[in-house]
Structure 1
Amino acid sequence: MNIEMIRFSAVVACMLSCLAGSQIWAKKPKAGNFKVEETTDPSGWEVLDGEKLVAGYIDDSSGRPIVYPVIGPSGQSMTRHFPMVTSMPFEERDHPHHRSLWFAHGDVNGIDFWAVGEATGTIVQRTGSAKVNESSFIKSGAAVLTTENDWLSPDGERVLSDVRRIAFFVDEGRRVIDFDILLVATDGDVNFGDTKEGIFGVRVAGSLKVEANQGGKIVNAEGETNADAWGKRSPWVDYSGPVYIEGQPSQVAGITIHDCPSSFGYPARWHVRDYGLFAANPFGVHEFDGGSKRRGIVLRQGKTMRLNYRVVLHDGAFDAEVTEADSKKFANDPRPQLAGALSAE
């Protein structure tokens, strides 16, 4: 049994431990009691609420950091396991670069950081820290991971750097992940190309995807659904449907991703697919809207660009009224500054 399978087995055991008697799904978390434990194989952290696993953070998964697994409020795994774990129900072995939750782009100075392979770029974590209850903008308490990362060409040359902060907390029974990132043009101008392949991505659980024909559904703030939501600008998109724990009946749950007005390119276009890809993209235009390819977005030497996204993991069916209230709350939350501590040297 390989290390990833051992890790997954531990996750499943943790999820099943939430089941009590005839109550199949655990009671929703009311408040966070977070702690963070460092891991070495794979390298990164595990975020726990009490003794329950909330999420894992792997600092190098085929050349980029990822958040895996991502566990919903009742203990269900909300993102796809492949390629970290294979042979799971409803999962296709496609797009091996779609790894749970990640941040990358398919054209950065002509280099593909979205795909994985010998000819693609890599994102390398240089420093990282984990703290609990250190973020004043999360009033309920949070586990907060902060990392500094370099984006390297296939030849190992640095193209740009970033500082990212990932906060895990509980809000009204939902688990929430805030993902704030500061892109820094440390090594000359950076062109973020006009492509659909990017940038803040989630690959949803196999049973959740529309193509599984189990009841999965995509809806955006404008009420467009499934394929009609692809490529459209919107402040948020929800992907809901049945999510399974092996051997148990399904429960409807979902993932909402909110863009923030503080983000560059707000509201983002959404590279969201019936097969389970779910990505906010502030740079792509022509493949979504038609017409010729644009120049892209240029971040000048020494300048920074800020992106802020919120992931809400909810039990039950999508609720438009609640989601709209969440969107307004996110827009009005103070966004603490990320320190641009990376040097250009």
Structure 2
Amino acid sequence: MCASAARGCFFTGSNPAVKAASSFSNSASCPAERAATGLGGRLPRKEAVAPSGRSWAAASKAGRLSSRQGRKRCFMAWRGRKKRACLRVLLRPFTRAMKLHHVLAALLVTASAHGGSFTLEKTAAGGAIVKLDGQFFTEFVVDQANKTYLWPIIGPDGTDMTRSYPMKTVEGEQHDHPHHRGLCFGHENIGGYDTWAERSTFGEKPSDKTSARVSHLGAIKHRSITEMKDGEKAVLAVVADHVDAAGKKIIEEIRRHTFMVKNGARIIDVDIELIATEGDTLVDDKKDAGLSIRVPSEMAVDKGKEGKGTGRIINSEGHTDGDAWAKRATWVDYHGTVKGASVGVAMLNHPSSFRHPTPWHVRTYGLFTANPFGLQSLDKNSETGAFTLKKGEKITLRHRFIFHTGDEKAAKIAEAYADYAKEP
């Protein structure tokens, strides 16, 4: 844009149209003006050519107007055409920029709807880091506790969707239950040993009551990664051994994580097979058992000492907050405000999963667990959930985690479950 056009069209006075008309009344002195009007320079008023191609006088006579009126009307028409053409030339870069903006926005919406690309990188410890479009999404940690876990997990708007404690100390977080690590699986008693709790659960000096549990602490030992696949639907499959206090194998666990993005939400499917490879194995009825995630302290329903208590729990049957505990449901959503962002995580129980629909050990302080094992522990009026897994037999647990923005309605969790339930 030339300086004279800029001064005339945009940067002088409060009325650009008036200034443009004033600037263009005597001359077409800038490149933009010449390009817009096809004029090469100054227009003498008496001999100027009207828009019709005739002189001002001829144009006024043809219109049966006085020479003065004709000149005025024809000049105003010419000036309006000239002004509009010049403005089109000057605004062309802005118009193109706006079109580019809309194109980019459309591409982002399309990418969000159809998902990004995941890449998996093996860690030195034998776990894996999962990236989405080159950015960190989560890590499968295998060597920091008596169980494996995913932590941290980054939501669709960049929010950390899991509590950091005990892996990392963050000011303002709740520091209870150190065995609640990110997204993990554990059970208080399979084959007589506990993989739910860990040594730090009981403090430096366990009481007489808890000493027995300490002596029966087991572990879920990662053995190997059996499959790693990148792409829009990435896969991390692993095998692990549940072992007793001496490291002897009790049962085998095959776990398959599937990562994807749908409608802007980030999804992790966790399919677990527990196989009695070593012999008949008792799987006891315990409250503290199942597949869990510990939500951020700000997302908890309870305010607590550190938590801000912005959260809400709701399940597929309409039970909310504390009333959702121990209830059977096909899905549960836990949402709240974290660092000013409205976010949530839904956990879906597939129809083929063991004892579907599962009871939920979901707490208002932030624990979120699908527990099909503790039937009587969660509801004293129920029959016992304890059973013996015969040698060679297995049970399958299938769940989907949806990390989303907004509440369960905004994230359309009911519709998402209907789609998930149709999957084989």
TM over 0.5: yes
Matches within 5 A, 1:1-345: 29-30=112-113, 31-40=115-124, 43-89=126-172, 91-117=173-199, 119=215, 120-133=217-230, 141-212=232-303, 213-244=308-339, 250-291=340-381, 294=384, 296-319=386-409, 322-334=412-424
What is the CA RMSD across the aligned residues, in angstroms?
Answer: 1.9
Aligned position for 1:339: none
Distance 2:416 2:281 in 1: 33
AA matched with 1:107 = N
Distance 1:111 1:330 in 2: 33
Aligned position for 2:204: none
- Does the 8 A contact of 1:202 with 1:278 survive in 2? yes
> Structure 1 residues 302, 71: closer, same or farther in 2, change over 3 A?
same
AA matched with 1:77 = D
> Structure 1 residues 174, 161: closer, same or farther in 2, change over 3 A?
same
AA matched with 2:186 = A
AA matched with 2:116 = G
Aligned position for 1:19: none
TM-score by structure 2 length? Answer: 0.67
- Does the 8 A contact of 1:32 with 1:169 survive in 2? yes
Report the CA distance between 1:282 and its aligned residue. 0.6
Aligned position for 2:64: none
Distance 1:63 1:29 in 2: 37
> Structure 1 residues 83, 43: closer, same or farther in 2, change over 3 A?
farther
Aligned position for 2:68: none
Report the CA distance between 1:320 and its aligned residue. 7.6
- Does the 8 A contact of 2:117 with 2:230 survive in 1? no
The superposition leaves residues 26-83 of structure 1 with CA deviations (integer Å, 9 ceiling, x where unpaired) of 988442211011222x541111111211111101331111000111001100000000
Which structure has greater helix proportion? 2
Report the CA distance between 1:216 and its aligned residue. 0.5
Distance 2:137 2:385 in 1: 40
> Structure 1 residues 45, 174: closer, same or farther in 2, change over 3 A?
same
Distance 1:297 1:306 in 2: 14
AA matched with 2:225 = G
- Does the 8 A contact of 2:331 with 2:347 survive in 1? yes
Distance 1:295 1:288 in 2: 10
Q: Computing the radius of gyration over CA atoms, which structure comes out larger, 1 or 2?
A: 2
Q: Percent identity?
A: 36
Unaligned runs of 5+ in 2: 1-107, 200-213
The superposition leaves residues 196-249 of structure 1 with CA deviations (integer Å, 9 ceiling, x where unpaired) of 1011010001110111344200001111111100000001000000012xxxxx
- Does the 8 A contact of 2:404 with 2:411 survive in 1? no
- Does the 8 A contact of 1:192 with 1:298 survive in 2? yes
- Does the 8 A contact of 1:194 with 1:293 survive in 2? no
Report the CA distance between 1:292 and its aligned residue. 8.2
Report the CA distance between 1:104 and its aligned residue. 1.1
- Does the 8 A contact of 1:182 with 1:304 survive in 2? yes
- Does the 8 A contact of 2:315 with 2:333 survive in 1? yes
* Partner-residue secondary structure (3-state), 1:319: coil
Distance 1:269 1:295 in 2: 11
* Partner-residue secondary structure (3-state), 1:211: coil
Q: Which segments of structure 1 move beyond 3 Å, counting only runs of 4 or more?
A: 26-30
- Does the 8 A contact of 2:226 with 2:239 survive in 1? no
Distance 2:411 2:185 in 1: 29
Which structure has greater strand proportion? 1
Distance 1:150 1:313 in 2: 29
Distance 2:236 2:332 in 1: 25
* Partner-residue secondary structure (3-state), 1:210: coil
AA matched with 1:316 = G
